[in-house]
Amino acid sequence: MNKFFTENLPWKIASVILASILWLFVINTQNPMQPEEVRVTSVTIRGLSQLAEKGYVLKNQEQIRNQKILVRVKGPRLQTDKIKVDNSLITITLDLTQYMNDLSADSVQNVARYVPSVGVEGVSVLGLKYEINNIVLEKEKTVTKDIQYTILGNTNSEYTALTPIINPSSIEIGGAKSDIERVSKAVVEINIESFSEDELIQTIPVKVYDEAGEEIQELKKSPQFVEVKLPIGKKKSVPLEATFKGSVPKGYVHTNTIITPKQITIVGKADLIDRIDRIYLKEIQLNDIIQTSAVKTEIVLPKGVQYIDNIDNKINVTVEIKKENSYSYAVRTNELQIAVTGMKEGLGYEILTENIELVLSATAEELLTFNAADINVKIDLTNLDKGEYTLPLDLTVPPNFTIINKPINVNVRLVEIGANQEEPEEEPRTEN
């Protein structure tokens, strides 16, 4: 035996090398035809949208799509070797449009006709061996269910007594009629061990069960996941406050803001909740609003805080906008309560202008309610000696009113108190 491996060793090694070279030469030059079996793990399904338009669904869609199909191919060895390495070069297609004319009953069963295609030149398909032989087409049906919950984890935890907030609270389920008629309940499974004061919210999938407690697969669920909040920590009701960016176009006025709901209940660590007296909403852009508009805007929550109301994150805000009007008022100066600043000691004053024109801009409703008594008036007499002057009035009108014709000037006479005057029109006023 030892002689076999030791005698003429160089010749034996050379023979092995020569044989290998010859084998490679034959394979690469002759490339003989040979059969091969390749396992394909997915099926492309066409015509699902057309089927849905007719009110039907492919009941066994997932089984068909995910089945394992054994494909027997034949071709040059080098090409079949490529397919063995990359089975995506073979595609299996099921075209549902060929069954559309047979849709006459609630449930239609037919033979599945799979069409193979090979993306390598020179390779042909000899046959298929598949797991799902039939397709089942059924009328589609939908149902809406309230979402229930079950508590998992440490049942001795203090959190088990808390009522979770599920948003949204209901789910729309669609699928084959026979499957929908089996639906008993929609459930989220809440593991309380994954919640804490720092982790108040989780996104959890919704599962659908029949009366026997078996999960029903292959259903369309909207939504597939829901947001679950566990109100751990201190609770507090606070008002919502809208914030704005920009201003309404010229000629319009923002008169009121209505927020629905007006307040929410927040939860979190006590030291954080105690510092919050309101919750702001995301800024609303006013620049392009010229009429009363309903806007949805998001709640802006501080870090570590959640709201526990069963409402959407977007809040309804009604921004009331009205067209601005203007009106000219004639106001008698002797009806104004004028506050004087800076008048020198020993002087008095009198207003020589009997009436002023006051042009205001506001909504029509507000212009009708305007009263001159609501105007605050100031006049500055700093560093002025006796004599006559034309001076501007400092006028402040109620909110939502704008003075258009500024400045408004009046003629003022300063006189020495007790000085002789020829037929004065009124007694000189002294500083209040």
Q: What is the pLDDT of residues 376-388, one digit of tens each?
A: 999 999 999 999 9
Q: By the 8 A CB rule, do 271 and 200 touch?
A: no
How far apart CA 369 and CA 331 sit, in angstroms, is 15
Q: By the 8 A CB rule, do 321 and 255 touch?
A: yes
What dotted CATH number matches 139-229?
A: 2.170.120.40
Tokens of 214: 């078996």
Residue of 270, 284, 286 lying closest to 240 (CA atoms): 284
Residue 84 C-beta-side C-alpha neighbours within 13 Å: 12
> Does residue 251 register a pLDDT over 80?
yes
Tokens of 258: 């209505």
3-state SS assignment for residue 95: strand
Angle between helices 77-85 and 9-30 (to 10 degrees): 90
Please provide the DSSP assignment of 198-220 as one string: TB-EEEEE-EEE-TTSPBP-S-E
How far apart CA 83 and CA 317 sit, in angstroms, is 61
Q: What is the pLDDT of residues 25-81, one digit of tens each?
A: 655 555 677 888 999 988 999 999 999 999 999 999 999 999 999 999 999 888 888
Q: What is the pLDDT of residue 188?
A: 96
3-state SS assignment for residue 5: helix
How far apart CA 321 and CA 356 sit, in angstroms, is 30
Q: What is the pLDDT of residue 93?
A: 95
Sign of the Cα pseudo-torsion (59, 60, 61, 62, in order): positive
Q: By the 8 A CB rule, do 362 and 329 touch?
A: no
Q: By the 8 A CB rule, do 84 and 120 touch?
A: no
Q: By the 8 A CB rule, do 86 and 79 touch?
A: no
One-letter amino acid of 117:
S
How far apart CA 83 and CA 77 sit, in angstroms, is 10
Topology agreement, domain 31-132 and domain 139-229: yes
Q: By the 8 A CB rule, do 36 and 80 touch?
A: yes
Residue of 234, 228, 224 lying closest to 164 (CA atoms): 228
Q: What is the pLDDT of residues 253-297, one digit of tens each?
A: 888 999 999 999 998 888 899 999 999 999 999 998 989 999 999
| DSSP label at residue 394 | E
The model's pTM: 0.56
Interior angle at CA 12, CA 6 and CA 17, nearest 5: 140
Of the two residues 301 and 419, the one the predictor is more confident about is 301
For the beta sheet containing 201-205, the strands, ordered from the edge strand earlier in sequence to the opposite edge, are: 165-167, 225-229, 201-205
Residue 197 C-beta-side C-alpha neighbours within 13 Å: 10
Tell me which of 2.170.120.40, 2.130.10.10, 3.40.980.10, 3.40.50.410 is the CATH number of domain 234-323. 2.170.120.40
Contacts of 286 (CB under 8 A, 6+ apart): 244, 245, 246, 247, 248, 254, 319
Q: By the 8 A CB rule, do 302 and 335 touch?
A: no
Q: What is the pLDDT of residue 47?
A: 94
Interior angle at CA 50, CA 48 and CA 55, nearest 5: 90
Q: Return the CATH architecture of domain 325-416.
A: Beta Complex (2.170)
For the chain, the domains span 1-26, 31-132, 139-229, 234-323, 325-416
| DSSP label at residue 334 | G
Contacts of 172 (CB under 8 A, 6+ apart): 142, 143, 144, 221, 222
Q: What is the pLDDT of residue 152?
A: 87
Q: What is the pLDDT of residue 423?
A: 44
First to last CA, the chain: 134
> Does residue 212 register a pLDDT over 70?
yes
What dotted CATH number matches 31-132?
A: 2.170.120
Q: What is the pLDDT of residue 424?
A: 47
Q: Indicate the helix (H) or strand (E) that contains 19.
A: helix 9-30
Tokens of 266: 């927040």
